[in-house]
Structure 1
Amino acid sequence: MNPPVSHQADDSPGKVRGAVPRVLVVKLSSLGDLVHALPALDTLHRRLGWTFDWVVKEQYADLVSLFEPVDRVIPFPRRWNRRSAREFLVELRRRYYHLVMDMQGLLRSALIARAARAALTIGPSFHREGSFLFYREIAGKRNKNRHAVEELQDFPRHLGIASPEYRFPIRVPELPPPAAPRPHVILVPGSRWPTKSWPWEKFVPVAAHLIDALRATIFLVGDDRDRQTCETIARELKRPGNVFNRAGETSLQELVVLCATADLMITVDSGPMHLAAALGRPVVALFGPTDAVRTGPFGEGHRVLTAPVTCRPCFRRKCRYGSVPAPCMTGIHPDDVVRAAMDVTRGSGLD
């Protein structure tokens, strides 16, 4: 049994590493980035018994509350004014922390970490905006040729803990699963980056094939901005009994249930992609301006499709050639997506 830890300030790293401290995580967004951080916390939870308080943007609080190592969620307010700032800081400083891990690496997250009552603050190797000025220590060395999940394992490694197994312990809410015939296929056509989107008219033949070949039920997922695109796809398919537009209608906890019960997801580089992969569901991911080595679906059993263009990955929100949609996405053919979908589901009983 570990000895009790004094709540008096002691900023020596040995005190943090040798006991069961109170630990605060600062990672504000986004959906995929939050999921990427979970295996690092799970490593420390399994090996040392640590649990975590987590500062996250208010809109993601319901998701982070489902992460098993998380004991307390501190929502960062959507609207920052005198009242909300005061309430947030009171809640942030309610506890003393032996360790704060800023896993975002931006100026805002570093300032939040600094505002907490803490002995030691550790930041990431991928720090930006001068955030390193607010850290006592940096976890790992910058290496862009790793997946984000692997990169965030620098935090437990920095504390002397390594794990060969990366897990995503997410509690699935006790909500009713979709009442529709299986198999369930989720399509995610939209992204906040215009360059990540795949033309809606290319999704139509893919969905039609899955309905005909597998008798699949299609769920179209996205936020309010994707509602019209998803409605267009559903209308063009002319299969009202097989297609359901859930864009803008699904809470994060409902999305967890939908992903956990899905048989397949076909998606652009998106937050739901990372959630489905973390829940062990097969994913076919369409990548254009971003690099799947760093932010592709993590784990085995997924397929990533790209177009044969020399300008990718460019990491641009707008195509340098002014093309909308971007050539790196339009160059992905629906037939290749269908083949990949059938490949990842082969042997699962769907084919």
Structure 2
Amino acid sequence: MKKMTARMPSPDCMETAAHLSASARPPASIAMRSIAGRQTLRSKRCRRVGAVASRVLVVKLSSLGDLFHALPAVHCLKTGLQATVDWVVHPAYQELVACFADVDRVIPLARDVWSGALMGDVRALRAEPYDLIVDLQGILKSALASRLARGSQRIGPSFHREGSQLFYQTIAGPRNKDRHAVEENLDVVRHLGLPVLPPVFPVEFPMQLVGEPEPRVALIPFSRWPSKNWPVSSFVQTGRDLQEHANASIFLIGGAAEAAACEGMAKEFKGCIMNLAGKLSLPQLGGVLQAMNLVIANDSGPMHMAASLGTSVLAVFGPTDKKRTGPYGDRHRVAAGNLRCQPCFAKRCRFQDGSCMRAVTPKCVTTIALEMLHAN
């Protein structure tokens, strides 16, 4: 009986607009900037509004969605301090961060502390002195990287953990988890007394030629947590419904580990279907997502990438909090169940059945998707 009383599903999914601060709405399209022609300014301490820091080091090691959530804060630092910005990241994301328009140099840091490449990475980390070091990861490894770097100021995030706060000189803002991750990252901008600009996500991805006719709909059926995955059968049914009612071209997106599963899904479609799982680098994925009219996804890194690019996103949520990690922007929408156990933040459903994700029906998602396609 305990299991039954813990969950009270609604008859169908709840649908909401994605969370966004009314005072800071990003533009519908991606902000594009030129990387060339950046000028290094003279070094000063960045302790007050209007001060200039010639060199800023950002430490944000991973993961895919978190990197995009940091971009508005990095843009404010770049603009407000008139600084060059270097970024420390895990090697898996090095090629991606090189596409961030506000970043002048990418410094890879090996994920494995016992890796033979680590000492070389540390030498690169210490090659230049910095006026300001900003850790936007808030874990022990990122704090150690911040401490190893040569800098006069080290600032950590309000969401620090693992004892990382011991390595910072100051913490940016009080801990407040009842807001979007983008807003959390902006705490460091407020702490420095810099202007908090309307959030933008300056990224330059190589254009991908997509010949399939519009509307183009990307389905991203997998995430890192099993509990966040909407049933594959629901993705297939929604995609087939969009082919029938909107004549949509369907694109399946996933990593190499999901390629076989996506190939099986592709066989369930009769119309235009492209399986791109395991075939794209992260910059190529960004170019493909830019060419989409709509992305339907779980709470995942590619979902946040698409939202940051200004592509309309319909996200299916269950165990995680849409207020905190929903697609950021007012053109996106979220479909979610309505169970008492939500959000549980568990990687695996404690009831073993993923009820919160199954509570979101293909009919619900298809209805919202058609509305979004017609609005676009």
Taking the TM superposition and a 5 Å limit, the aligned residue runs for 1:85-234 are 85-173=118-206, 175-234=207-266
1:342 and 2:375 equivalent?
A: no
1:236 and 2:264 equivalent?
A: no
CA deviations 1:204-238 (Å, max 9, x no partner) are 12111111222211111111222232122111123
- 2:296 & 2:213 partners in 1: Cα distance? 18
1:5 and 2:43 equivalent?
A: yes
- From 295, 299, 302, give the equivalent of 1:265: 295
Question: What is the CA-CA distance between 1:247 and the residue it aligns to?
Answer: 1.1
- 2:167 & 2:53 partners in 1: Cα distance? 24
Q: 1:2 to 1:32 in 2, by over 3 A?
A: closer
- 1:346 & 1:92 partners in 2: Cα distance? 49
1:292 and 2:325 equivalent?
A: no
- 1:104 & 1:162 partners in 2: Cα distance? 22
Structure showing the higher helix proportion among its residues: 1
SS at match of 1:70: coil
Contact residue 265 and residue 273 of structure 1 kept, 8 A: yes
SS at match of 1:256: helix
Contact residue 2 and residue 19 of structure 1 kept, 8 A: no
- 1:25 & 1:35 partners in 2: Cα distance? 13
Q: 1:255 to 1:2 in 2, by over 3 A?
A: closer
Q: 1:88 to 1:321 in 2, by over 3 A?
A: same
Normalised by the length of structure 2, the TM-score is: 0.86
SS at match of 1:172: coil
**AA aligned opposite 2:327:** P
Q: 1:3 to 1:82 in 2, by over 3 A?
A: closer
1:256 and 2:256 equivalent?
A: no
**AA aligned opposite 1:201:** S
1:327 and 2:365 equivalent?
A: no
- 1:25 & 1:46 partners in 2: Cα distance? 14
Contact residue 40 and residue 83 of structure 2 kept, 8 A: no
Task: Please list every run of 5 or more consecutive structure 1 residues that lacks an aligned counterpart in the other structure.
Answer: 7-11
Question: What is the CA-CA distance between 1:4 and the residue it aligns to?
Answer: 2.3
Question: What is the CA-CA distance between 1:143 and the residue it aligns to?
Answer: 0.7
Normalised by the length of structure 1, the TM-score is: 0.92
Task: Please list every run of 5 or more consecutive structure 2 residues that lacks an aligned counterpart in the other structure.
Answer: 1-38
**AA aligned opposite 1:206:** T
Identity of aligned residues (%): 45
Contact residue 220 and residue 296 of structure 2 kept, 8 A: yes
Question: What is the CA-CA distance between 1:172 and the residue it aligns to?
Answer: 2.3
Contact residue 218 and residue 244 of structure 1 kept, 8 A: yes
- 1:16 & 1:110 partners in 2: Cα distance? 25
**AA aligned opposite 2:43:** V
SS at match of 1:201: helix
**AA aligned opposite 1:105:** G
- From 95, 101, 117, give the equivalent of 1:84: 117
Contact residue 253 and residue 276 of structure 2 kept, 8 A: yes
Contact residue 208 and residue 288 of structure 2 kept, 8 A: no
- 1:342 & 1:229 partners in 2: Cα distance? 26
Contact residue 67 and residue 170 of structure 1 kept, 8 A: yes
Over the aligned positions, Cα root-mean-square deviation in angstroms equals: 1.9
- 1:280 & 1:333 partners in 2: Cα distance? 26
Relative contact order, higher structure (CA 8 A, sep 6+): 2
Question: What is the CA-CA distance between 1:40 and the residue it aligns to?
Answer: 0.6
Question: What is the CA-CA distance between 1:55 and the residue it aligns to?
Answer: 0.5
Contact residue 17 and residue 159 of structure 1 kept, 8 A: no
- 1:309 & 1:321 partners in 2: Cα distance? 12
Partner residue of 2:74? Answer: 41
Question: What is the CA-CA distance between 1:20 and the residue it aligns to?
Answer: 2.7
